[in-house]
A and B are shown apart, each in its own frame.
Chain A
């Protein structure tokens, strides 16, 4: 069955520290997609990245980087030189490409990691 685990419920860092948010997933499919979303204190959900299961290249976008490792079923997210504005709940999510009977057919979210960046 599909499952996304974000073991870190809360993380607190001081500004300018690097921080890594862990995401481990389970899927029976060979084709799937992984996502990260950010939910700032204002409450909206902001899409950050999508990766497919065939592309294991790490991705960097400014201070954000993502490390996808199929061997460990992980899709970790690192913020370099964290800032107060990075304080948010971050969700990792999984979507399989195929719909099975009984499949939820959609994004399966982890329970989120609350990141607090203190000045």
Chain B
């Protein structure tokens, strides 16, 4: 199916575990992004990528790692999960060649760290 997908949609993990959230888009968009959404904070950018093998930090990158070996995939890894990383995570991709084009979001992954 065309679009942007995230997996898993729901995840419960324990403190200290490593967990990877997957993001896949079929549009061949250059830019991809990871956000977290928390009550009272809205959406905050974790990392973004301008193209394969090019990534950069956003507002809240600590505790997260990203990679982008292929244009269509942009996984987000929590190296050692903490309770403060309990959140809803959204992946997005951007239609244009510049960073300021509209973004299209995946359905989100609800992560709970116990």
Contact = CB atoms under 8 A, between A and B. Distances in A.
Interface residues of B, number: 24
B62 interface: no
A46 B108 CA distance: 12
Contacts of B14: none
Interface residues of A, number: 23
Interface string A28-58: 0000110101000001111100100000000
Contacts of B107: 43-44
A57 B19 CA distance: 46
B90 A45 contact: yes
Contacts of B108: 43-44
Contact of A50 (B42, B88, B101): B101
Given A106-B48, A112-B42, A50 B102 contact: yes
A110 B59 CA distance: 14
Contacts of A112: 42
A31 to B, nearest CB: 9
A47 B102 CA distance: 7
A115 to B, nearest CB: 15
A32 B11 CA distance: 36
Given A105-B56, A106-B48, A99 B102 contact: no
B10 to A, nearest CB: 11
Interface of A: 32-33, 35, 37, 43-47, 50, 91, 95-97, 99, 104-107, 109-112
13 contacts: A44-B105, A45-B105, A47-B104, A91-B43, A99-B99, A105-B48, A105-B56, A105-B99, A106-B33, A107-B103, A109-B43, A111-B40, A112-B42
